[in-house]
Structure formats: structure tokens, C-alpha cells
Structure 1
Amino acid sequence: MAILDKSKRLKKELTLFNIYTIATGTTIASGFFLLPGLAFAEAGSGMVLSYLVASVPVIPALLSIAELATAMPRAGGVYYFLDRSMGPLWGTIGGIGTWLALILKTAFALVGIGAYTGLFMPEIPVIPLSTVFAVIFGAINLFGAKKTGIFQSFLVIGLLLILAWFVGAGIPVIQPQRFQQLFAKGMNSILSTAGLVYVSYIGLTKIASVAEEIKDPEKNIPLGMFLALATVVVVYILGNIVMVGILPAEKLDHALSPVATAAEALVGHTGAVIMTIAAILAFFSVANAGILSASRYPLAMSRDHLFPAFLGRLSRLHTPANAIFLTVGLIVCFLLLFDPTKIAKLASAFQLLLFALVCLVVIVMRESHIPSYDPGFRSPLYPWMQVFGIVVCFLLIIEMGWLPTLFTLGLLAIGTIWYFYYARDKVVRGGAIYHIFARLGELRFEGLDR
């Protein structure tokens, strides 16, 4: 892999705990504070199993990203992996698509902040309040990953403490009879609902985009991601058991604030206020880490001449200030001009496509036999783990319907157009996949000499 000039590198400031809180914080938000009511409407009490089932397809993507990030610890994460394996066209498509998808998800989180904060300040409209928070988090990110990571750590610690209280207070008073109809709506409803809640785990992979800033990446990246996965699964399962166990079905069905409703049932209005604060902390965490992750994509693509050079410049604090400004600017535009709550859901199908491609990248990199590909962590059960990940991701995309698929095709088109009209003449490198083609070409003639 090419050596990057030290003056252009981002500082390695993120510890294992920072990685853990970033991965956890970008994951526990809408998946816990919004989706349970919708999931219950689809699968009844069986939605507890849906959250567990949905965690399984995430494992191949996490294992693949852990391997790739320890082999290529560079800003840009999935973009960098696709570019170096499949070539700059797929790198451009993946980079622009992931960047825009992250921007939409961050805008969605900011709307959540505005909505929940508005419960305490109802006189302030949601969108202007969300815009102010976008600027605040952008400013925090200008001070570097270390400061952002510290802020993220406080947010996630506060969130996990409140959630621990919620689970601890709720478990002793759950009513077991509410789980007697666990399979009442059938196994198919549990599996289809798993496709709905699968998006709750997507944030776990965002740590790859800040791999360049992680200390001891060979150890900390895989450990941080899987500690976060374990935490998130426990929170989702126990939290949903509490919600199903204490709320009547008519209150949980389609509820948009199920956790606050459950907390109110536990300890009255005070409980609802506490869980509203937890929701705000969760959305704070997603928005803060979202800007941190998203801004690394234009930085990485600028280094490779796929984006204008000014986006690759670092400030005196060694942060990609221009990339942060552009990212926050686009987030504000989406907040003011569109409805991020509707658009953000469409981005999930593209994230699934990226998960499938990441699994494919591991296969490409290993089969290319490039000497410089030397990951500090290797995915077990290769290649069957990756094949499983690819198949499951495409099955879930099909389950999501035609509209998210159409949105995904639109992002693919945007990346392709940008590459052919801006970037193609600026890059001369190929991807590792061409090494495989070369080896196959040589193998064609091996039998002819015998």
C-alpha cells in the first residue's frame, strides 16, 4: 500500500474505549427509541427474536471490515477498501454513496434531537433547532478526533447508565404471560421484521472510516466493534423484553416513543422525562459520530484525486476542516430543503449493498495474493462467512421493496457520472481484482505444456 506523507496524515488519537463508544453511540438511536413499536406491529412479542436474528447477518460485515481496516487503516473506510480492491470506479460509487447516506442518517438524527428537545422548548421549531445542533457538532469536530471521541464517550456513558436503570427497573415487574404468544404471527413475520430492524445495527461498521486515527488498529478495531455489538444486542434484547413485558399490546403497537411510554408506566411522568433525555443523548451521539465519519470520505477521495484537492487539506489541528465544512453544509441543506426522516430510510438499502461489497472485497484481496496485503486480523471461516454475508444482504434488499432499491440505483448512477465526468482522467491506478484476472490468464496456459 502507498505510504502517505506524515504531514497529511490524521493523528492517531482514538483509543479502544473511544472506538467502543463511537460504534455503540452510532447504533443505539432509532433502533431502540423508534423502531420497537413498529416492529411489534409486525411480529407481536416475537419482535424480541427479530432483533436477535437481525444481529446475525451483521457479523460477516463486521469480520470483513475488521480484516480490511487492519490491513488498510486509512480514512474513508469502505471507500478506500473498494477503491484498492475493485478500482477507482467502484471506489467513487462507494465513497459518494456512503458519504451521502451518512449525511442523510445524520440529518435524520438531528431531526430527532430537534423533536425531543422541542418537548422541553415547544416554542422553538424543530428544523431551526436541528440546524443549530448541526453547526455545534461540526464545530466540535473541528477540534480533532480526540476531543470528539471524549465528547462521544461522555454521551454514551450517560446513555448506557440510563438504559441500565430502565432495564433494571423493568425486568422485575414484567408480566411473563405477555410472551406466551411469541410465535403467534408466525416465523415468517419474525424473519421479515428482522429485515426491518436490521438497520439498527448498521452504525457498528462506521468505525472503519476513522481507522487512520486509531491507536493499535490491529487489536482495537476488531475488539472495539465486537464489544459494541455485544453491548447493543444486550440493550436491544433486554430493552425490548421490558417494553413487551410491561406495556399492553395496544399501547406498544405502532408507538413512536415506546421507551418513554414504558418508562412512564414504570415510574410515572419522571420516567418519561428520563427516557426522553436518554433519547436526546442517543441522537446527540449519532449526529456527533455521523459528522466525524462522514467528513472522512471527501478527505480520502480528495487524496486519491477523485474529489477537489482543497477537501484533502488539514487544519493546524490536523482535522479535515474543509471536508467538515462541506459535510455540515450539505446536512444543513438537507434539513432545510427536504424531509430527512423519509429519505434516510431509503439509504439503508445502499448500506446493505455496501455490506455485500465489503464481503466481496475480502475475497478479492485474499485471492489477489498481493504481498502488501497483510491484515492484523483475519476473518474466520473464509470464504463461507463472506459468501453468507453477500447472500443475506441481497435477500434483505429484495425484502425492502422497490423504492429503496431505486434509491440505491440512483446513488450508483451519481457515483458513475461523477467518475466519468470528473475523476477518470485524474487516476491511473487499478484495483487488486486485476491481479486475479492476470493470474487467471496465466493459469489458462498451464495445462498446455503438459
Structure 2
Amino acid sequence: MTPPATATPALKKVLRPLHLWAIAVGLVISGEYFGWNYGWAVAGPVGFLLATLLITVLYVTFIFSFTELTTAIPHAGGPFAYSYRAFGPLGGLVTGYATLVEFLFAPPAIALALGSYGHFLHPQVPVLATALGCYVVFIGINLLGIKESARFSLVVTLLAVAELVVYMGLVAPHFKTSNFLSHPVPLGAAGIFAALPFAIWFYLAIEGVAMVAEEVQDPRRTIPKGYLYGLGTLVVLALGVMILTAGVTDWRRLSTIDYPLPEALGVVLGRQSRWTQFFASIGLFGLVASFHGTIIGYSRQVFALARSGYLPGFLAQVNPRFRTPHWALAAGGLIGAGALLTGTTAQVIILSVLGAVVMYGMSLLSLFALRRKEPRLERPFTAPFYPYVPLLALALTLLSLGAIVYYNWWLSVLFFAGLGGVLGVFLLLGRHRQPVAEDTLLTPADLL
């Protein structure tokens, strides 16, 4: 059961627009460094560019819609809280499960890339041990407090953005259209649809800003700025990096590795070039920013689900000194460490993307439901051109979900079997008959 409001664990309100921009970009920016290049293997550069443009439209329309929910219901549970309010306990469970899958399986993929970058620089550095060590270090940083974590995010995100700008400047003179168009994969719907999960990786987890909403000063104004500035930054970086990288060498040699950018620089400048070595060294900042941000995201989601009674109550405990959800951080780290042992980056990415797309669909349905159920709910930000923008976002979300399931059926079976098991236990325990928890009903006025 949810504890009384007076006993509900409280998070600290310290975040400002620049912090939110850093968290939004930091959550995602590793997607510009690796992971997306696996899309070339199934669609080639041209097909993958089309897939990326399609997904860019999805995220622009989704974020405009999602910001309405985040500002109306600023809650650490993020999407879980919106679905809970719109559809009750079962809706909250479905969305909470999907969000947990997204944020628990994104960090292992990033950690493996961190290990791979280290191995690129120093071949004697073991990939798996480095990845596991990253969990220990960054969970420790997150334990120190959200303000300290946000400051760290700001520094590494600024460095990561600057690095990508430098990278684009270094490779742009070597771009050749003939390289971009070489070895074409037959252009068709099949390849484009198969590439969608890797295009989503460019933007995956930007919605994690919603999970620090309870820690934001003046959420009415701060959250929209953080989302929109962050998304604009990511669109420019994603398209620039992807197009320029495809034109500097034979793209096939970059389509199956976790460090495509330093490898591309190694081709055009020489592997021993100081720029190549320098880029690979500071390239770790982009991966660190996302790894750090997704740890914030999963810990707040676990905290919110536990606080509402979906997970064991001890996971909602807040450290009395640092005011951070320490048990939620540790539990997510253990799950991530287990995923690391599989060593399958592409599969972990697809599983994380699958959770994200299901969550996007549930969030958009929640938007429509709350517009009907609670027309007088205070909405500091409203989705533009309603209902057309949210409908376009929902249509593209369903298209992406269908493509992911069709081309990754066994991972989809694993995902939905897990959801079915969780729902079964929930129904057997009779939790669906319990009233909506009070902490899911917070509005901006409650948090002022």
C-alpha cells in the first residue's frame, strides 16, 4: 500500500532548464556514438537515412505530445503515472513494465560500448570487466545526490556535444557521395522497417526527463524548455554524424562494431593520428553522459513503482543524507550486470527499444484518455494542433512496434511473455482492484 502523503519519500527540487537540457541530451547522446550503425547492415546508408527521417518525425511529434503529460503530472514515475491516472492500475502496470525494460536494458548496451572504446584505445583492457566497473562507479556517483549528478551530467554532456561537432568538422572534408551510395542494399520497405530500432536508438530515452520531474524547480516552464532544446540538439547531431560517417569509407566495415566514429577517423586520418586517439579518449564522455543519465532514469522508475506498491517497498527508500533512492539504484545495477554477461549489444538495444515503443504508445493513449476524462486538468503546455500531432505520433509508434515485432519475433516473445507473467501475478494478487495511489495524482499545483 502507498504510505500516507506525510510519510511519502520526498525528492529534492533543484533542477533548472540547463540541467534538464543536459539530462535530455546526456540520456541520448551515446546513441550518436554507436548502436545506430547496426541499421546499415539491414538497410544500407540510403535506407537507414529514410528510416532515421521517419523516426525523427516520430520523436518530434511524440515529444510535443509527451510534454503536455509531463508538465500536467510531474511525477518520478513519468509514463507510469500518466497511464495509472488514465487507465488505472492495469494501465500503470503495462507502462511501468515497458519503461523499466527500456531503462534497465539501455545501460548495459552503453556499458559494453564503453568497454569497447577502452579496448580500442588499449587492446589489453578487457571489455566486460570495464563495463561492470562502470556500473560500480556511476551508481556511486548517483548516490551522492541529484544536484551533484545533474552537474556531472552538464559537464560531460557539454564535452560530448563539443566532441561531436569537432568530429563532424574533421570528417566533412573527406565525405564522398560515392561512398554513401556504394554497395547499395536494395531499397524497400523491408530494409527500412528492419532498421527502425536502430534509428530509434538515436533518440531513445529522451523521455527520461519526465522521471526527474519531481526534482525540477518550476516544472511548468522548465520542463518544456528542457525537452524542446534537447530534442533540437539531438536532431542536428544525429543527422550530421550519420550522413558524414557513411561518406568517409566503405560503410560495411563500420556496420557491426561498437566504436564506428573513432574507426572512421582512423580510416581518414590514420589510426595513430593524435586526433584519432584524442577523439577515442574523449569519446568516452558521450557514452558516460548517457550511461549516467539512464541510471538516473531507471532508479526513479523503480523508486516510483515501489512507492506505489508495484515493487517491494524497500526499493522506495530514500537515503536520509543524500535524498537519493539508493536501493533502486542498486537493484537496477544488478539486473544490468546480468544483461552484460550476454555480451549481445544489438539484441539488448532491440529489447530496450521495444520497451520504449510500447511505453510511447501507452503514453499517447493516456494523453487522449485524460483529455476526455479530465478536461479541466491544468495543462501548462498543450500538444500543438491536437489531435493531429498526437495521432501522427501514435501511428508512427504503432508502425515501429509492428516492424520491431516482425523482424525480432523471439525477442518480442520474451518481452511480451514477461509482461504476461507480471500481469498474471498482479491479477492473482488482486492488486487491480485497489484504488489508484495518491502519489500518482500529483499536479503542478501540488508540487509548488
TM-score tier by shorter-chain length is 0.7 to 0.9
Q: Distance in 2 between matches of 1:418 and 1:135?
A: 32
Deviation of 1:30 after TM superposition, in Å, equals 3.9
From 415, 418, 422, the counterpart of 1:415: 422
- Output one character per residue of 1:161-220: Cα deviation in whole Å (capped at 9) or x when no partner: 111111122223423454578998436367433454123212211111111111221222
Go from structure 1 to structure 2 and tell me whether the alpha carbon gap of 1:178 and 1:113 turns closer, same or farther (over 3 Å shift).
closer
Q: Distance in 1 between matches of 2:179 and 2:125?
A: 40
Larger radius of gyration: 1
Question: Is 2:316 the counterpart of 1:312?
Answer: yes
Deviation of 1:375 after TM superposition, in Å, equals 1.7
What secondary structure does 1:246 align onto? coil
Q: Distance in 2 between matches of 1:256 and 1:328?
A: 21
Q: Distance in 2 between matches of 1:58 and 1:144?
A: 30
- For 2:340, the equivalent position in structure 1 comes to 335
Go from structure 1 to structure 2 and tell me whether the alpha carbon gap of 1:248 and 1:118 turns closer, same or farther (over 3 Å shift).
closer
- Structure 1 stretches lacking a partner, 5+ long: 432-450
Give 2:427's aligned amino acid. Answer: F
Q: Distance in 2 between matches of 1:426 and 1:53?
A: 40
- For 1:403, the equivalent position in structure 2 comes to 410
Go from structure 1 to structure 2 and tell me whether the alpha carbon gap of 1:426 and 1:235 turns closer, same or farther (over 3 Å shift).
same
Normalising by structure 1, we get a TM-score of 0.86
The size of the alignment, in residue pairs, is 428
Q: Distance in 2 between matches of 1:327 and 1:61?
A: 27
- For 1:102, the equivalent position in structure 2 comes to 103
Instruction: Work out whether residues 74 and 219 of structure 2, in 8 Å CA contact, stay in contact via their aligned partners in 1.
Output: yes
Percent of pairs with identical residues: 21
- For 1:234, the equivalent position in structure 2 comes to 236
Give 1:205's aligned amino acid. Answer: E
Go from structure 1 to structure 2 and tell me whether the alpha carbon gap of 1:387 and 1:274 turns closer, same or farther (over 3 Å shift).
same
- For 2:151, the equivalent position in structure 1 comes to 150
Instruction: Work out whether residues 302 and 328 of structure 2, in 8 Å CA contact, stay in contact via their aligned partners in 1.
Output: yes
Deviation of 1:156 after TM superposition, in Å, equals 1.0
- For 2:83, the equivalent position in structure 1 comes to 82
Give 2:51's aligned amino acid. Answer: S
Residue correspondence of structure 1 range 62-81 to structure 2 within 5 A? 62-81=63-82
**The 10-residue stretch of structure 1 (153-162 or 90-99) with the greater mean CA deviation from structure 2:** 90-99
- For 1:323, the equivalent position in structure 2 comes to 328
- For 1:297, the equivalent position in structure 2 comes to 301
Deviation of 1:37 after TM superposition, in Å, equals 5.7
- For 1:13, the equivalent position in structure 2 comes to 14
- For 1:353, the equivalent position in structure 2 comes to 358
Deviation of 1:284 after TM superposition, in Å, equals 1.3
Instruction: Work out whether residues 14 and 213 of structure 1, in 8 Å CA contact, stay in contact via their aligned partners in 2.
Output: yes
**The 10-residue stretch of structure 1 (45-54 or 138-147) with the greater mean CA deviation from structure 2:** 45-54
Go from structure 1 to structure 2 and tell me whether the alpha carbon gap of 1:129 and 1:422 turns closer, same or farther (over 3 Å shift).
farther
Question: Is 2:396 the counterpart of 1:389?
Answer: no
Q: Distance in 1 between matches of 2:257 and 2:337?
A: 28
What secondary structure does 1:363 align onto? helix
Normalising by structure 2, we get a TM-score of 0.86
Q: Distance in 2 between matches of 1:255 and 1:330?
A: 24
Go from structure 1 to structure 2 and tell me whether the alpha carbon gap of 1:44 and 1:331 turns closer, same or farther (over 3 Å shift).
closer
Instruction: Work out whether residues 346 and 407 of structure 1, in 8 Å CA contact, stay in contact via their aligned partners in 2.
Output: no
Q: Distance in 1 between matches of 2:4 and 2:385?
A: 31
- Output one character per residue of 1:109-143: Cα deviation in whole Å (capped at 9) or x when no partner: 11211222233444443222222210111111111
Deviation of 1:90 after TM superposition, in Å, equals 1.9
* RMSD, aligned α-carbons: 2.8
Deviation of 1:295 after TM superposition, in Å, equals 0.7
Q: Distance in 1 between matches of 2:228 and 2:78?
A: 17
Q: Distance in 1 between matches of 2:311 and 2:106?
A: 22
Deviation of 1:297 after TM superposition, in Å, equals 1.6
Q: Distance in 2 between matches of 1:378 and 1:398?
A: 28
Q: Distance in 2 between matches of 1:408 and 1:374?
A: 35
